[in-house]
Amino acid sequence: MTPGNRTAGNRPLVYGHRGARTEEPENTLRSFRRAAELGADGIELDVRVSADGRLVVIHDATVDRTTDGEGEVAALTLAQLRSLDAGSGERIPTLDEALASFEGLVQVEIKAPEAVRVIQDLPERAVLTSFHPEVLEDAARRLPRVARGLITHRPGDDMLRTAKDLGAAWVCPELTDALTPGLVERCHAAGLRVDGWPAADRELLHGFVELGVDAVTTDHPGRIEEWLTG
């Protein structure tokens, strides 16, 4: 399965947001493995850089919300980050560990721009994503063979133009009234795949299916089949 293909049943691909974060501690190996068990086609994870230049998987700029520690991720070494409990005894994983824990598709969201300078390469099944065009521009220069995706709160033709200018493979728009079947069709005509979020309940999921998106990102990967058939 390549990052641009729907499933055999022609339903959207399903990305588990930070793994299976409603069941397990987010952005942990346990969460990624649980997403795989629940049938997710892919996972979405967040990458920052430790004080000693290691790529670590954590959403926030600080460790305060998701661990038993305090402080900025960028001010802590990998060893210090590893000493923290990220929930249920899990540790903050490195990007390499996260990729090894899940064999499916992976969206690697760049939370700290300096992470692009640390990443050496990514497998073909991975897509680098960001809300920030300048981050994707840097990724295009440094990692030209890695697919890129533009995340946005504001779907529309500006999103489409920006993604095309960046040479992106994906757009990842939040669901608003501006995300229409026509916009999805224009994205497809431009060679862009569309990953809609958040697929937070049955109604939203069916809305995304009607829009014709290629993928959805959800906190509930284990409920997608139930929502699709119910």
Query: pLDDT tens-digit profile of 34-57?
Result: 999 999 999 999 999 999 999 999
Adjacent-strand bridge partners of 110: 47
Tell me the C-alpha distance between 151 and 75, whole Å. Answer: 27
Asked if residues 28 and 46 have their Cβ atoms less than 8 Å apart, the reply is no
Q: Give me the domains of the chain, ranges plus CATH numbers.
A: 13-229 (3.20.20.190)
Q: Residue 2's pLDDT band (boundaries 50, 70, 90)?
A: very low
Residue 3 has pLDDT above 70, yes or no: no
Tell me the C-alpha distance between 56 and 65, whole Å. Answer: 16
Instruction: Record the pTM.
Output: 0.95
**Residues 39, 170, 133, 141, CA torsion sign:** positive
Give the pLDDT confidence of 177-195 residue by residue, as tens digits.
999 999 999 999 999 999 9
Residue 150 has pLDDT above 60, yes or no: yes
Mean pLDDT of 121-145: 97
Active site residues: 17, 59
Q: What is the pLDDT of residue 50?
A: 98
Mean pLDDT over each residue of the chain, to the nearest integer: 96
